[in-house]
Structure 1
Amino acid sequence: MTTGVVLRRALAADARAAADVWLRSFAAALPTVVRPRTDDDVRDYFRDVVVPLREIWVAEAAGTGIVGLMVLNGELLSQLYLEPEWRGRGLGDRFVALAKERSPGGLTLWTFQVNKPAHRFYERHGFTAVEFTDGSDNEEREPDVRYVWQP
């Protein structure tokens, strides 16, 4: 359950904590995917680009701090990452519901082909796989899949 967790827009002061959630979540969910950027590069990107220029939402747990994040860029749900121990508690469901509310005309997202739990999660929320790639267009060079949700 996600009682005591508030979803809110990120503030500049949240950039480091959000980046650290992203780093821990990526490492736990995608251990075989090679990241082309260092941890500090990711933190800088969150500070300089993601938080000031994107629609980023964070999940803040009372007494714990930032435990999840979602980044929207128009109809693109570009990132959804949770602290590993917060997976399976309904927090991702809340983020997807918020994304659908913010983009009622539809959403698209990319996830890696190796991330089978993400496929199941998004399909459960009505997303359909519409394109599979060899990964040549992403910086990780990892095969990915594009999902679309239309109301």
Structure 2
Amino acid sequence: MTTDELVLRRARDADARAAADVWLRSYASALPTVRCAHDEPDVRDWFARVLVPQYETWVAVTGHRVVGLLVLKGEELKQLYLEPEWRGRGLGDRFMSLAKQQQPDGLSLWTFQVNGPARRFYQRHGFTEAGRTDGQGNDEREPDVRYVWQPHT
């Protein structure tokens, strides 16, 4: 399956479970050393009650399968997760283009310091480091880094 056969669209209530499952698999694959602060039922509930209905949540769908997700809350990029087998195939780039279209005045995000691939991805897309923490402000208690993207004016 190629990224050409993917559709990026706003998530519907019915997508919440599949999106949560993508998040869970992606998190486990990309962040094996980071403790997930919430169990699977809590993550699924968070998607169903908060992310899909209250935030600007987008999914990548091929056939009837959700393979990626992007969550925006205003200028904050809250979530960007892909099925592990979809990494490195251009889907993240498509989501990043969409995020910049939706928030053309700029974006910000947090990622864990140990997540080198994500940090390189964001830097490649023009994000610059704006700060670091020791992790005391996040649920995982994992040191993180803040990135910002501002369009060239």
TM range, smaller chain: over 0.9
Structure 1 residue 3: deviation in Å?
1.4
Q: Residue 128 of structure 2 corresponds to which residue in structure 1?
A: 128
Structure 1 residue 81: deviation in Å?
0.1
TM-score (norm 2): 0.97
Q: Residue 21 of structure 2 corresponds to which residue in structure 1?
A: 20
Look up the SS of the partner of 1:50 in the other structure.
Answer: helix
Gaps of 5+ in 2: none
- Aligned CA RMSD, in angstroms, stands at 0.7
Look up the SS of the partner of 1:105 in the other structure.
Answer: coil
Structure 1 residue 66: deviation in Å?
0.2
* Residue 44 (1) aligns with residue 45 (2): yes
Look up the SS of the partner of 2:4 in the other structure.
Answer: coil
**C-alpha distance after superposition, 1:16-62 (max 9, x if no partner):** 00000000000000000001110010000100111100000000012
Q: Residue 56 of structure 1 corresponds to which residue in structure 2?
A: 57
1:1-150 counterparts in 2 under 5 A?
1-62=2-63, 65-150=65-150
Q: 2: CA distance between counterparts of 1:29 and 1:5?
A: 22
Amino acid of the residue matched to residue 12 of structure 1?
D
Structure 1 residue 82: deviation in Å?
0.1
Amino acid of the residue matched to residue 123 of structure 1?
Q
Amino acid of the residue matched to residue 44 of structure 2?
R
TM-score (norm 1): 0.98
Q: 1: CA distance between counterparts of 2:100 and 2:51?
A: 20
